[in-house]
Amino acid sequence: MVKLEKLSDRALSKIVCRLARNGMVSSRRGRTGGLELAHPTNKITLGDIVRFTEADMDELVTCEPDNGKACVLSDACRLRGILAQSLNAFMSVLDGVTLHDVIMESGQRHIHR
């Protein structure tokens, strides 16, 4: 996975820690140790995985500058609502696809509606 996605060991470790902390994977130490999914693949959605690995998803629609002050356009801005709707739609699609779907339908697009 590290080679395929060109991830550093540290980046992969952070992802695995988040997934383990949220009960998506379980890990065992030692000679026979390793990682395994904590739930069947048909119970894990891509939305679950994205929510657990992308901690800052909600920041996409906050529209707050780095200085911590509110945006001067926040009272009149319609973009925030549009971005929130698009994020909800994106996550809704991911919530309709299980890990099982991705594994079994590799090479084909398969979305539950």
What number of CA atoms fall less than 13 Å from residue 107's CA on the CB side?
Answer: 0
**Span 9-35, pLDDT tens digits:** 888 888 888 888 888 898 888 888 888
Q: Which helix (H) or strand (E) holds 94?
A: helix 79-95
The predicted structure's pLDDT at residue 89: 94
| 5, 8, 41, 53, 58 from 12: Cα distances, Å | 10, 6, 20, 10, 22
The predicted structure's pLDDT at residue 113: 44
More confident residue, 45 or 22: 45
